Structure 1
């Protein structure tokens, strides 16, 4: 979903709520008749990288302006997990790397620990911003998040892939 509204008209939280609602509704009714219901499992996080938000930490101000913000939802329903990321206020027309990590954010970029994995699978959300600094990414996996082992952060890298420097981190919380 690409926003055609001028920058700032559609708030980040409203956009993420729309994406999350759409994802939840699109997976409703997928349970097998007679099978036990599986409760949705998920994580979410959001914040502005302005230096005042402890859940959203910027490590590189040249690539993550104080106006930058991000919001992420990951939800499992049945045997499917949909993860959606929306960012705005980032540098215009630029590619960034992003993926989920095993530990919460900290003052040091390495605090988020290793990549979050489900078996050998990882959740990658690399994105490219448009001319207004807005970007988004959505992934779908055919597995369910384990409530005992949830991702705890989203790390944003200076470029797609995991070898580029970590430039920002968003702490996630169980939904």
Structure 2
């Protein structure tokens, strides 16, 4: 049986077409934002998952002086906190909380002082620094209720100077100050009271230092 030239020609054309690109195409791969695709280690959060970073550590060293618009550390009582005396403040985030260290030098020797974190920056008047910063705010102000005015809900840094007028004190709380709501440390005339009706009180405000918490 003979195959006609037309049939042979049609068969050859079909073979040529299938060999020149009629095969299956490679499936398109879709890139996803997985740790492997972005070069991150497994379990590491992607950019969209990352939450706010921990607060930056704070470290300041200032000299007390009479108030001026640019003063970072202000003395309101130059007998108790002489102009030229020094203050250092360090903070560090620790396991969801915050560690605070306060160092002073050049103050009156062998004397008790109170110290707390306050809500506002230092001003021309002692009261300009506002109330104590509280993690859980007392709805009744000024706060003298031990439920709120205590060293777990506030930052207390009471100290007693040595014979040279120097002291160092540290404390830790299990929370982080809300950004922009804690702005200074105030040094008071006496150690902080704890009894109801007087809790949190520590006498006159002697000095203030601005701290960028």
TM-score (norm 1): 0.72
Tell me whether 1:164 sits opposite 2:203 in the alignment.
Answer: yes
Deviation at 1:37, TM superposition (A): 7.5
Residue 124 of structure 2 corresponds to residue 107 of structure 1: yes
Partner of 2:184: 153
How far 1:132 moved relative to its partner?
Answer: 1.2
Partner of 1:40: 54
Q: 1:140 to 1:34 in 2, by over 3 A?
A: farther
Contact (CA 8 Å) 1:38, 1:78: kept in 2 or not?
A: no
More strand by share: 1
Cα distance in structure 1, aligned partners of 2:74 and 2:63: 8
Please report how far the alpha carbon of residue 65 of structure 1 lies from its aligned counterpart in structure 2 after TM superposition: 1.3
**Count of residues in Structure 1 that have an aligned counterpart in Structure 2:** 141
2:109 matches 1:92: yes
- Point out where structure 1 has 5 or more consecutive residues left out of the alignment: 1-32
Structure 2 distance, partners of 1:85, 1:163, is 17
Residue 68 of structure 1 and its aligned partner are, at CA, apart by 1.2
| Aligned residue in 2 for 1:83 | 100
Kindly report the root-mean-square deviation, in angstroms, between the aligned alpha carbons of the 2 structures.
Answer: 2.3
Q: Which has the higher contact order (CA 8 A, sep 6+)?
A: 1
Residue deviations 1:91-142 (CA, integer Å, cap 9, x gap): 1111100000000000100000010111141000000111111101100111
What SS does the aligned partner of 1:156 have?
strand
| Bigger Cα Rg | 2
Q: Residue 64 of structure 2 corresponds to which residue in structure 1? A: 49
Greater Cα shift, 132-141 or 35-44: 35-44
